[in-house]
């Protein structure tokens, strides 16, 4: 196809097809910009443009931006490295109550559509449901108050495990840990199964309570939750405890407690892992 016909088809003037730029190739400017970029590796084109003007190179900012892009001098963004908080996994603990507590939040809504949240506190060894803090909003100070009341009833835990939620990493929580001397282990970001016991408990709670009940108000929700907690601790068979209820398992530990201490007073109770005393042969 001839040039004349091609230009007629695309609606372009023939002079524009034959035009050849007479502008300089800006080789010196490009070299100067690359030199500045090597010296100032984290500078973008705006700051480099100011440096060029300081050295007497008076050009339009858009021209600096165009050359900057053509030369591939864009600043590479640095990605934040993921850092695990604390150790890879909590250390094994003695097979006794109050050795390690797990904390996590679960969310739901009322019949009116108003959302609420529940802070669950679980004993990792006995699988007891220790506390349910239920409200529309729970701050770090509220977490501290509830844990202080729980410790006054049950005693201080050896360790607390949770994720890195804003309420659980607040200054109030950190100051409280230093004040009473409790070790707080934060799991690595994006690794919920490192707090698997509480995550599993949240799943049971959602399946057996939250998804089965229409909550009319916060007061109604607290009543239903308290009734479910009572049944969970005293009636519900737990597979990892040999299909015993947590309360029955705690009663057996209380009977074994005198034999768990040596004459010197040091604990000789077996070590409990995250898969505590699972009895696969005792299925109902």
Tell me the pLDDT tens digit for each residue of 118-177: 999 999 989 999 999 999 999 999 999 999 999 999 899 989 999 888 889 889 999 999
Are 33 and 73 in contact by the 8 Å Cβ rule? The answer is yes
For residue 185, the SS3 value is strand
Helix (H) or strand (E) holding 233: helix 218-234
Question: 90: closest CA among 280, 277, 276, 273?
Answer: 273
**CB-CB neighbours of 244 under 10 Å:** 20
Instruction: Tell me how far apart the alpha carbons of residues 133 and 122 are, in angstroms, rounded to a whole number.
Output: 12
Instruction: Tell me how far apart the alpha carbons of residues 242 and 281 are, in angstroms, rounded to a whole number.
Output: 8
Q: Residue 93 above 50 pLDDT?
A: yes
Tell me the pLDDT tens digit for each residue of 178-231: 899 999 999 888 888 888 888 888 988 988 899 889 999 999 999 999 999 998
Q: What is the pLDDT of residue 257?
A: 62
Percent of the chain clearing pLDDT 90 (strictly above): 30
Are 209 and 201 in contact by the 8 Å Cβ rule? The answer is no
Q: What is the pLDDT of residue 137?
A: 92
Tokens 């050896």 -> residue: 158
What residue ranges in 49-114 does DSSP mark as E strands? 93-94, 101-109
């Amino acid at each position: 196809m001839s040039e004349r016909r091609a230009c007629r088809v695309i609606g372009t003037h023939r002079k524009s097809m034959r035009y050849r730029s007479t502008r300089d190739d800006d080789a010196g400017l490009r070299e100067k910009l690359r030199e500045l970029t090597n010296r100032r590796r984290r500078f973008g084109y705006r700051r480099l443009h100011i440096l060029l003007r300081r050295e007497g190179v008076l050009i339009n900012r858009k021209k600096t931006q165009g050359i900057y892009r053509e030369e591939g001098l864009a600043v590479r963004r640095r990605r934040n490295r993921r850092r695990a908080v604390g150790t890879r996994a909590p250390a094994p603990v003695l097979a006794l109550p109050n050795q390690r507590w797990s904390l996590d939040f679960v969310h739901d809504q009322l019949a009116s559509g108003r959302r609420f949240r529940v802070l669950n506190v679980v004993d990792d060894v006995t699988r007891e449901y220790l506390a349910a803090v239920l409200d529309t909003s729970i701050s770090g100070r509220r977490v501290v108050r509830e844990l202080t009341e729980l410790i006054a009833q049950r005693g201080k835990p050896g360790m607390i495990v949770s994720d890195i939620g804003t309420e659980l990493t607040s200054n109030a929580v950190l100051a409280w840990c230093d004040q009473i001397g409790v070790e707080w282990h934060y799991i690595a970001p994006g690794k919920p199964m490192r707090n698997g016991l509480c995550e599993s408990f949240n799943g049971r709670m959602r399946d057996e309570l939250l998804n089965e009940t229409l909550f009319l108000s916060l007061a109604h929700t607290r009543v239903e939750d308290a009734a479910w907690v009572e049944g969970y601790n005293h009636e519900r068979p737990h597979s990892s405890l040999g299909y015993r209820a947590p309360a029955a398992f705690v009663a057996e530990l209380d009977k074994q407690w005198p034999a768990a201490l040596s004459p010197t007073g040091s604990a000789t109770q077996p070590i409990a892992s995250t898969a505590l005393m699972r009895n696969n042969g005792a299925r109902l």
